[in-house]
Chains A and B, each alone.
Chain A
């Protein structure tokens, strides 16, 4: 059995755009749309952007509703890929969080090792060796050769 399915994700994306439009529009009024002599003020461009975003989000939502796809209603959304992407983003965030505490390269060495061992199912020692090699090379270029003061 198949039925026309609402593009929920598309509509949420439009809702977020509309919210962003409103979030831009309201403070821009406080910044002032015009200055003395009717010249453009600091709020004019953000105000125009907010209004346009609001209008466009409504138009995109309309488009999405008009082009509802013929898909079976019982098709279940797949969460696996999103969870995997979230785990990687989370580990990159962990590396960033550890960066000022343990040092940039130590933080990312830990994050890389965890990515290789937990997500990619690599054996522990090769994973550590590869992460050490990669972070060592990055340290060589950024910290030693380019003399960039990395955190930590």
Chain B
């Protein structure tokens, strides 16, 4: 195997491939910075640029675009509190408060390092375990996937805010939004109120843009407008303390993210939710999460990159994409005459190992380009907010339109912005809402499949050990969070 890995690096590390990896990272970062245009859209938009390149060079450039767009989404999540895509949402929770405290530079730099560290850790895992992990992942049937999604919803609702009930309510609203449109199994239209635009469902990205970007603009403006950051350039570099607190979360969440990414349907967003919740629970300063802890940023970024690498396991070995972006990458593979699947590793070993080596190259290129640029990006916050928010609105609403070329989505973003403003005011957390939208479809689909497996009998969920464990863990998390809040509630002073 070592020979194959060496062969892969030799194929990937040509001057031409390195150049295209760098170009891919730059283009991907530019696309990722635009709110709404996440990595999936970025890869789709830039896919035609790879036409005419040799298969390996094209795949290397695509990998660069992918990693670049992931980091671009981090930049907007940290600087303006607008996650470019769902997997950057947890980064925004602590990254944005850090940026408002004048620590946007360190947050971005540590985010880039977390991505790189996680990549260094998980790419060898991808190389070594891809064939064996893919068979394990395929044993994860509908009952287990349903239980995993329910566990994710319950744990994020319980741990994502100050009030478990409000978190659960938001997750339910998210699941409801996911049910709008045509139901896949029966073709039944639901909750469309005769609107043709709703047949495809409510777009997730416009809702994200609304409840994060627009709601944040409204909140800041109603508070009188955020003060411009006056931090010196040298203070925008990470401190030794930032490094110290970040090492553990990078290693832990890189690995956890990888394992979650391997599971078909789970995706990077779920991995970042789990990673963030895990570090928050583990931390001695858990109450400070959400108000600017560096561990929150690095946990989310490491989990994200780990999951991205994990999602390549089913993509490469089974031809089953683990996420929307890997589905588009899969299309890219097919354009260049490569058909991923069990035989790919045997038939095209140089290409597969070269591609895996190129993931490493993409991570290095990302770090080289973006680590020095982090303070420069963060300097954007020196602009007065009265000039910044109209630009944020323009870019956010243009992004909401661009995702499906639909003006309806722009109105959805505006309505979601108003809803997000009120949610913020009454402390209803946004993260469970988004997770509900992401997982709602999967929850319903896997529940239907589980029901079919058991001929209508859902007790199959508690007859299989993995699904039973996940369901109990989800319920346990909700109960434990309620008990913990009861124990920690402030006691009334005695007279």
Same complex for A and B? Answer yes
Give residues in A with beta carbon < 8 Å to B.
Answer: 9-10, 13, 17, 20, 24, 27-28, 31-32, 34-35, 37-46, 49-50, 52-53, 56-57, 59-60, 63, 81-82, 84-85, 88-89, 92-93, 95-96, 99-100, 104, 108, 111-112, 115-116, 120, 122, 130-131, 134-135, 138, 141-142, 146, 148-151
In the bound complex, CA of A60 to CA of B164 (Å):
10
Q: For the complex, is B418 an interface residue (Cβ under 8 Å from A)? A: yes
Which single member of A35, A45, A130 contacts B186 (CB below 8 Å)?
A35
Which single member of B214, B386, B393, B417 contacts A120 (CB below 8 Å)?
B386
A-B contact pairs, 5 of them (CB 8 A): A99-B410, A104-B401, A116-B390, A120-B387, A134-B390
| B448 and A40 contacting across the interface, CB-CB below 8 Å | yes
B394: A residues at CB distance < 8 A: 95, 108, 112, 134-135, 138
Binds A, one of B52-60, B172-180, B351-359: B172-180
| B172 and A49 contacting across the interface, CB-CB below 8 Å | yes
| A88 and B169 contacting across the interface, CB-CB below 8 Å | no
| A100 and B407 contacting across the interface, CB-CB below 8 Å | yes
Q: Beyond A31-B190, A42-B186: 9 further Cβ-contacts under 8 Å?
A: A37-B456, A38-B451, A39-B448, A39-B455, A108-B394, A112-B390, A116-B387, A138-B394, A146-B37
In the bound complex, CA of A111 to CA of B395 (Å):
13
| B410 and A60 contacting across the interface, CB-CB below 8 Å | no
Binds A, one of B123-131, B327-335, B422-430: B422-430
Which single member of B30, B166, B222, B425 contacts A84 (CB below 8 Å)?
B222
| A146 and B448 contacting across the interface, CB-CB below 8 Å | no
Within 8 A of A (CB), among B380-415: 386-387, 389-391, 393-395, 397-398, 401-402, 405, 407, 410-411, 414
| A27 and B191 contacting across the interface, CB-CB below 8 Å | yes
| B451 and A45 contacting across the interface, CB-CB below 8 Å | no
Chain B: which residue is nearest A38 at the CB level? B456
Q: For the complex, is B452 an interface residue (Cβ under 8 Å from A)? A: yes
In the bound complex, CA of A103 to CA of B163 (Å):
44
Chain A: which residue is nearest B175 at the CB level? A49
In the bound complex, CA of A34 to CA of B168 (Å):
25
B179: A residues at CB distance < 8 A: 45-46, 49
A116: B residues at CB distance < 8 A: 386-387, 390
In angstroms, how far is the closest chain A Cβ from the Cβ of B228?
14
Q: For the complex, is B217 an interface residue (Cβ under 8 Å from A)? A: yes
| A81 and B222 contacting across the interface, CB-CB below 8 Å | yes
In the bound complex, CA of A27 to CA of B421 (Å):
28
| A46 and B172 contacting across the interface, CB-CB below 8 Å | no
Give residues in B with beta carbon < 8 Å to A.
Answer: 30-31, 34, 37, 45, 163, 165-166, 168-169, 172-173, 175-176, 179, 183, 185-186, 188, 190-191, 214, 217-219, 221-224, 386-387, 389-391, 393-395, 397-398, 401-402, 405, 407, 410-411, 414, 417-418, 421-422, 425-426, 428, 440, 443-444, 447-448, 451-452, 455-457
| B405 and A92 contacting across the interface, CB-CB below 8 Å | no
Interface of B is mostly: helix
| B173 and A41 contacting across the interface, CB-CB below 8 Å | no
| A82 and B222 contacting across the interface, CB-CB below 8 Å | yes
| B425 and A9 contacting across the interface, CB-CB below 8 Å | yes
| A60 and B221 contacting across the interface, CB-CB below 8 Å | no
| B414 and A37 contacting across the interface, CB-CB below 8 Å | no
| A89 and B218 contacting across the interface, CB-CB below 8 Å | yes
| A96 and B410 contacting across the interface, CB-CB below 8 Å | yes
A111: B residues at CB distance < 8 A: 390, 393
Most buried by A among B188, B191, B214, B390: B390
A45: B residues at CB distance < 8 A: 175, 179, 440, 443-444, 447
In the bound complex, CA of A45 to CA of B184 (Å):
13
| B223 and A81 contacting across the interface, CB-CB below 8 Å | yes
In the bound complex, CA of A89 to CA of B166 (Å):
25
Given contacts A34-B456, A84-B222, A104-B398, contact A131 B407 (CB under 8 A): no
Chain B: which residue is nearest A83 at the CB level? B222
| B452 and A39 contacting across the interface, CB-CB below 8 Å | yes
A95: B residues at CB distance < 8 A: 393-394, 397
Given contacts A45-B175, A53-B169, A92-B397, contact A39 B411 (CB under 8 A): no
| B183 and A20 contacting across the interface, CB-CB below 8 Å | no
| B395 and A138 contacting across the interface, CB-CB below 8 Å | yes
Given contacts A24-B191, A60-B166, A142-B398, contact A39 B456 (CB under 8 A): yes
A146: B residues at CB distance < 8 A: 31, 37, 45, 402
Chain B: which residue is nearest A126 at the CB level? B387
In the bound complex, CA of A122 to CA of B422 (Å):
28
| B426 and A9 contacting across the interface, CB-CB below 8 Å | yes
Chain B: which residue is nearest A45 at the CB level? B444
A35: B residues at CB distance < 8 A: 186
Which single member of B166, B221, B397 contacts A108 (CB below 8 Å)?
B397
In the bound complex, CA of A138 to CA of B188 (Å):
39
Which single member of A49, A96, A131 contacts B176 (CB below 8 Å)?
A49
| A42 and B183 contacting across the interface, CB-CB below 8 Å | yes
| A40 and B401 contacting across the interface, CB-CB below 8 Å | no
| A138 and B398 contacting across the interface, CB-CB below 8 Å | yes
In angstroms, how far is the closest chain A Cβ from the Cβ of B25?
17
B169: A residues at CB distance < 8 A: 17, 53, 56-57, 60
Chain B: which residue is nearest A63 at the CB level? B165
In angstroms, how far is the closest chain A Cβ from the Cβ of B368?
24
| A99 and B190 contacting across the interface, CB-CB below 8 Å | no
In angstroms, how far is the closest chain A Cβ from the Cβ of B332?
18
